[in-house]
Amino acid sequence: MKRNEQTPIIQRSMFSWVLEGNGKLQALLLLVIVVTVFARVLPLEMQKRVINEAIKLRSTDLLMIYCGIYLGSVLLASGLKYLITLLQTVIAQRVLARMRKQLYQHILTLPLSFFRKTQPGLVVNSLVTELTTAGTFAGMAIAVPVTNVLTLLAFAGYLLWLNWMLALISLTIYPMVLYLVPKLQRRANRANKERVDTGRDMSDKITESVSGIHEIQANGAFAIENRKFEAITDKMERIRLKWTLFKDGVKVTNNLFTNLGPFLIFIVGGYLSMKGQLGLGALVAFLSAQEKLYDPWKEIIQFYQVYQDASVRYERTMSYFDAEPEFALTPEGREPLDLEGRLEVEDLSFVTDDGIRLLEGIHFTLEPGQQLGLVGFSGSGKSTLAQCVGQLHNYSSGSIRLGGQEVAALSKQDMTRNMSFVSQSPFIFDGTIEDNLLYGCAAANTDKDSAGADGLPSLDDRIAILHQTGLFVDVLRFGLNAKLLEEQHRELRDTVVRVRNSFQSSYGKALADHVEFFDPDRYLYYASIADNITFSASNREEFATEALASNRYFLDFLVASDLKRPLMNLGLELARQTVEVLGDLPPEAVFFEQSPLEPQELPDYKELVRKLKSKRLHQLDGATQEKLLDVALRFQPGVHKLVGFPQILEDLILEGRSLFRERIAEEDPEAFKFYDMQAYISSQSILNNILFGRPKTSHPKAQEKINQNIIQLLIEEDLLETIVAIGMQFQVGSKGDRLSGGQRQKLAIARAMLKKSRLMIMDEATSALDNNSQSRIQNLLENRWKGKSTLIAVVHRLDIIKNYDQIMVMKAGKIGEMGKYDDLIAKKGMLYELEFGRK
C-alpha cells in the first residue's frame, strides 16, 4: 500500500490497483465464487439422476428430491451470481474513483508549459472516458478469471467423470482456439492503439474549434475547419473498421469452434448410447455440461478483450501525462515558511522548451513593501518575469530569492502562504462569490490576525475588502435581488416586512414621484393589467403573468367577471396603434418602449390586424383571441402611452381584483400570494419586498435615491451585513459568466488582497476596469498596501505608475532602463518614448 502511494500514478501498472483498498472485498469475492461454482455443477448431476434413477425407477419421492435440489442450486447460483456482479461493480467504481482522483491531482501539478500544448478536451476525455475500461478491468481482474477457470475445471472434471473418452474428444477444440485467438487479438490491439490516438486527435480538434469559434466565424473559415475535421473523421472510420473486424473476428472464431462441440457429442455420444456404453441420463447431462462449458469460455475470451483494451487505454493515458511537477508541492519535514517581502533577482534568464529565450540577465532588488511597475511593449517579457517570480515558471538560470529563500527551492505551499497573483484574465470558478473570494485564503489558510473559527477571514474583513475594491454595491445588489426561503430565513423575512413598513412611513411621501406603492384599493398604473387583476405573486408556473392568456382557469374568470371582451378590444386597439405608428420603423427596442408589443412580435400582429379588417372579435379563433388578450394583459398605462386607458375598464379591473381574490382563496388558495403589507412574498426578491411597489421611472438618479433610502434603513436595522452575506452566495456561473468582465477582475483583486500576502503580483490586473475603478484600485495600492506588501505590477496605463518606487522598462526580455518615474522621464529614454511618443 505504501509503495503504491509513493509511486507516481503515471508509473503504476494497471494491476497495482486491483487489491489496493479492496483486499477484503476480493477475499469475499473468492469465497462466493467457490460456492457459486459448486452450485452451478450440482444441477448437472441432478439431471442425470432424474433420468437414470427417478424416472427409470418410477419413484415420485426421488423425483421430488432431485428436482428440489436442482431448483435450490439454480436459485442459489443466480443469487450468488448477482452478488458477484455487485461486488465487481463496487470494486470497479472504487478503483475508477481512485484513478481519477490521483490522476487529476497529478495533472493539476504539471507545468504550465504542458497545458499550453495540451487541449482541454484531451484531459477531459482521459479522466472521463479512457480510464473507465481500466476501472472495469480492476473489478473483473480476479472475479472473472477465477470464476470461469474454476467453472471450466469443474465442468471438465465432471465430463471426464461421466465418460473420459467423450470428454477428451470434446475438449480437443480448445487448443486450436488458444492458438488462433491471441493472433487475431494482437492485430486488434494494434488497431485499438491507433483508435485511441485518433480519438484524442478528434477530441482536440473539436475543443479547438469550439474555443476558437469567434475566429472561425469572423474569418468565415468553415471550409478550412470542415476539411480538417473530415480528414480526422475519415481516418477514424478506417481505423474503427479495421479494429472492429479483428475484434469481432475473435468472437466469430471462438463461436465457430465452440459450436463444433455438440456436433462431436452427437456423433460419438449417440453411437456409444446406442451401443449401451453410455446411459441416456449421462448423455443428457454430458450435453448440458458441454453447453454450459461454452459460457465460461466465452466470458474468458471477453475478459481477455477487455484486458487488452483497458491495457492499451491505460498505458496511453499514463504515457501522455508522464511529466513531473516543476516544484515540490509541500515542504518536507517542516511547516510552510513565513517569509519577509524582500525580493532579490540576480542574472535571471528563462528559455522555453523550444529554445526561445524570453528573459535574459534580469537583475533588481525590492525591499519589503516596495512597489515595482513593469512596462514595455507587448512581448517584452513583462508577464514572463512576473510569472517566474510567482513560481509559475521554473527559470532556466540565475536566482530569485524571496525573504532570502530561493524561489525554485520553495514548495508550492511556501509560495501560496506568502504570495498572491492576479492575472490579466483572472479565472473565476463555478460557485458563489464567497467561494471565489476565499479561494486563496482557503488554499493558504493564512491571515491569522483576523481569521474566524474556520481559519478564514471574518465577515467584517470580507465586507471591508469588497468595499475597498468597489465590489460592495454589486454584492449588495445581488443580495437584495435574492429570494428568502421560509424554512431558512423565517426571522429575516419578518424583519424585511418591518423594514418595508419603516420604508413607506419614512420615505413614502418623498418617493411618491418615483414609486407607485401597492394599495389594494387603487389601480397600479405602472403594473400590467394582469398584475392589477391578480394583485399577487403567482406560486406556480401555470399562473405566471406570461401564461395567464392561455390559462383556462383565468380565462373562465375573465368571462365570469365580464372582463374578457373589453380586454380583447383593448388588445385590438393596442395592436392597431402599434402597427400604424411603428409598423415602418426598424425593429429596435427603443421605438417600442411605449407599446407592450416586442419588436419581434410586430410581423405576427401586422397579420392579425389585417385579418381583423374583415372579422369581428367573436369570429376569431382561440389562438388569435389569446394573442389579443396577451398584449392587453401586458399593458401598463403609466408606461405604454400609445393608447389611452378607459376609466370604465379601470373600474371593472378593480372590481375584478376583489372578485378574483375571493374566488381563488376559496378554490385554489395555494396558487397565489396576495400583496399584503404585513406578509412576506416568497416569490419576490428582498428588494421588491421592501419596495412593495413599482418604480415609476428607470432614471438612474431616481433609482439611486431609492437605493440610498433602502440602504439607510438596512443600516438602521443592522441588516446591511446580512444582506451582503446573502449577496456573497450569488452563483457566478461557469467561468464567472454571470459577472461582467470588470466584476470578475475586481473579485480576483479582492481574492488576492484578502490574503494579505507579503508579495503581490498583478499582471495587468485592472485592464478590464473603467478609469474610475482603475483609479480606485491604484489608490488602494498606494494608500493601504504600500509598505505592507511588496508589489510587482505589470501595467498598460503609464499614468498610474507615477508613485511606484521603481519602474522597469523591458525590451526583448531585458531591462531597458529602471528607476523612479520622474528620473526616467527626465532622461527622455524608453519610458519617455512609451509615455509621450505615442501621443
The more confidently predicted of residues 26 and 661 is 661
pLDDT tens track for 213-248: 766 766 667 777 788 888 888 888 888 887 777 777
pLDDT tens track for 61-95: 888 888 888 888 888 888 888 888 888 888 888 88
- Enumerate the β-bridge partners of residue 351: 357
Residue 358 has pLDDT above 80, yes or no: yes
Query: What's the whole-number mean pLDDT along residues 503-516?
Result: 88
First to last CA, the chain: 67
Q: DSSP 3-state assignment of 431? A: coil
HSE-up of 274 (CA within 13 Å, CB side)? 6
pLDDT tens track for 298-313: 777 778 778 888 888 8
Euclidean distance between CA atoms 534 and 656, whole angstroms: 9
Euclidean distance between CA atoms 122 and 118, whole angstroms: 7
Find the Cα–Cα–Cα–Cα dihedral 700, 702, 704, 705, rounded to 10°.
Answer: 170
- Enumerate the β-bridge partners of residue 672: 538
pLDDT band at residue 684 under the 50/70/90 scheme: confident
Task: Please write down the HEC assignment for all residues of 310-359.
Answer: HHHHHHHHHHHCCCCCCCCCCCCCCCCCCCCCCEEEEEEEEECCCCCEEE
Strands 672-674 and 536-538: antiparallel
Give the Å distances, CA to CA, from 415 to 94, 325, 346, 366, 792: 34, 15, 19, 17, 15
What the block records as the C-alpha cell of 58 is: 418410477
Give the Å distances, CA to CA, from 594 to 229, 582, 597, 610, 694: 50, 10, 9, 22, 17
What the block records as the C-alpha cell of 524 is: 397600479
How far is Cα of residue 482 from the mean position of the Cα atoms in its chain? 22
Q: For each of the domains in the chain, give its residue range(s) and CATH number, in order of start.
A: 13-320 (1.20.1560.10), 343-470+731-836 (3.40.50.300), 495-709 (no CATH)
Predicted local confidence at residue 839, as pLDDT: 47
What the block records as the C-alpha cell of 511 is: 418617493
Q: Is 808 left (phi over 0), alpha (psi -120 to 50) or beta?
A: beta
- Enumerate the β-bridge partners of residue 806: 372
Residue 692 has pLDDT above 70, yes or no: yes
pLDDT tens track for 311-341: 888 888 888 888 888 888 888 888 888 999 9
For 110-126, letters b (16+ CB in 10 Å) and e give bbeebeeebbebbbebb
Give the Å distances, CA to CA, from 492 to 517, 699, 714, 719, 730: 22, 30, 12, 9, 18
Among 683, 762, 699, 714, smallest CA distance to 473 is for 714
Predicted local confidence at residue 449, as pLDDT: 45
What the block records as the C-alpha cell of 67 is: 428436482
Among 662, 668, 644, smallest CA distance to 560 is for 662
Predicted local confidence at residue 374, as pLDDT: 93
Euclidean distance between CA atoms 320 and 103, whole angstroms: 11
- Enumerate the β-bridge partners of residue 694: 516
- Enumerate the β-bridge partners of residue 422: 762
Euclidean distance between CA atoms 787 and 369, whole angstroms: 4
Among 811, 813, 816, 774, smallest CA distance to 795 is for 774
Residue 167 has pLDDT above 80, yes or no: no
User: Is residue 261 within 8 Å of residue 293, measured between CB atoms?
Assistant: yes
Predicted local confidence at residue 454, as pLDDT: 59
pLDDT tens track for 750-781: 999 998 899 999 998 888 788 888 888 888 88
Give the Å distances, CA to CA, from 544 to 547, 634, 654, 677: 5, 12, 20, 22
Euclidean distance between CA atoms 169 and 508, whole angstroms: 102
User: Is residue 125 within 8 Å of residue 203, measured between CB atoms?
Assistant: yes
Enumerate residues 6+ apart whose C-beta is below 8 A from 33: 84, 143, 146, 147, 150
User: Is residue 250 within 8 Å of residue 307, measured between CB atoms?
Assistant: no
How much is the pTM? 0.75
User: Is residue 128 within 8 Å of residue 308, measured between CB atoms?
Assistant: no
Query: What's the whole-number mean pLDDT along residues 83-110?
Result: 87
pLDDT tens track for 579-588: 888 888 888 8
Sole residue written with cell 461557469? 734
Euclidean distance between CA atoms 405 and 415, whole angstroms: 11
- Averaged pLDDT score across all residues of the chain: 83
Predicted local confidence at residue 2, as pLDDT: 42
125 phi, psi to nearest 5 deg = -65, -40
User: Is residue 767 within 8 Å of residue 796, measured between CB atoms?
Assistant: yes
> CA geometry: angle at 106 spanning 101 and 110, to 5°?
150
- Enumerate the β-bridge partners of residue 794: 374, 763
DSSP states along 367-407:
-TT-EEEEEESTTSSHHHHHHHHTTSS--SEEEEEETTEEG
What the block records as the C-alpha cell of 802 is: 507615477
The H-or-E segment that residue 94 falls in is helix 60-108
| High-pLDDT (> 90) share of the chain, % | 26
